Amino acid sequence: MNFLANLIPGRADVATLPKRSRRVRGVELKSEAEVEIMREAARIVATVLKEIEAMVKPGMTTADLDAHAEKRIRELGATPSFKGYHGFPASICACINDQVVHGIPGKRQVIRRGDLLKVDTGAYYNGFHGDSCITIAVGEVSAVAKQLMAAAEAALYAGIAQVKPGNTLLDIAGAVEDCVASYGFSVVEEFTGHGVGRNLHEAPSVFNVRTRQLPNIKLLPGMTLAIEPILNAGSKQTRTLKDQWTVVTVDRSLSAQFEHTVLVSESGYEILTDRAQIPVALAS
């Protein structure tokens, strides 16, 4: 779930959490015990998204997907991170076509063949959050939609490839920005990635473009980051609808997003929300 860089809200019940790890420049470094909890939170998120990816078909509603996500998150021993978060009414954000972020699922939002569907969800498990987003092509989609999806996923992994001790947030931002530029699409700049852990959104902000706003923090083992570039096929400019949540492109162009929760390890990175690690049988 994206956020504005100056918003770092809290949620966790600190009375039930492991002892707090040390912080460096306001960024919490997770202990191995905390990382183990986050692995499970992230595994739950990856499982639910893999299930949703497999079940989506034309004629379903985004409310159907939300109901499945909440049911499965709870069955797997967690609670939905998003539901009730600053008043958000659902367990997933569901965005179709020109919707960029924070789409509210509903019974009247019918999924159609040719749609580009983004599903973002989080799970809160034993005091820690996991967070991830996928974009799904519903049936056969346009050539532009296919290219946009490919670019968004490539940009995510370009950013992740820069995650290793000694590199900086600017290395991630630069890799994402350069990758997107090579495809000719635009990056939505006002929504960023973020630290994730005890809070769904915590320091640092993980920008997707080079910016002077970005404190060039060095990456250290134990940092956990939600990296999540959002790409538009047209203008990077967006607007928020009257529901005060759903953000859309101003020019009605398509938007795509992929997100992973990533651990900075001793030797590089670990993708905690890696859906490839989820057995097919578990996600069926």
**Portion of the chain with pLDDT greater than 90, in percent:** 87
Side chain identity at 105, as an amino acid letter? P
Q: Is residue 20 predicted with pLDDT exceeding 80? A: no
- Measuring CA to CA, which residue among 111, 134, 105, 118 is closest to residue 46? 134
pLDDT in tens, 181-199: 999 999 999 999 999 999 9
Side chain identity at 71, as an amino acid letter? K
Which of 205-209, 220-224, 279-283 comes out lowest in average pLDDT? 279-283
Average pLDDT estimate for 259-270: 98
Compute the chain's Rg from CA coordinates. Answer: 17
- Measuring CA to CA, which residue among 168, 103, 163 is closest to residue 133? 103
Regarding pTM above 0.85, the answer is yes
Q: Report d(CA 86, CA 83) in Å as an integer.
A: 9
- The pLDDT, as a whole number, for residue 18 is 53
The answer to whether 197 touches 21, Cβ cutoff 8 Å, is: no
Location of structure tokens 């069926």: 284
- Per the rule left: phi > 0, alpha: psi between -120 and 50, beta: everything else, 117 is beta
> 186-187 and 193-195: which strand pairing?
unpaired
pLDDT in tens, 127-184: 999 999 999 999 999 999 999 999 999 999 999 999 999 999 999 999 999 999 999 9
pLDDT in tens, 2-12: 755 434 333 33
Helices 32-55 and 62-75 sit at what angle, rounded to 10 degrees? Answer: 140
Classify 42 as helix, strand or coil: helix
Indicate the CATH number of 21-277 among 3.40.640.10, 3.40.190.80, 3.30.300.30, 3.90.230.10: 3.90.230.10
The alpha-helical segments, DSSP class H, found in the chain are 32-55, 62-75, 143-160, 169-183
Q: Report d(CA 81, CA 37) in Å as an integer.
A: 15
- The pLDDT, as a whole number, for residue 281 is 53
Average pLDDT estimate for 15-31: 73
- Measuring CA to CA, which residue among 32, 65, 100 is closest to residue 246? 100
Q: Is residue 126 predicted with pLDDT exceeding 60? A: yes
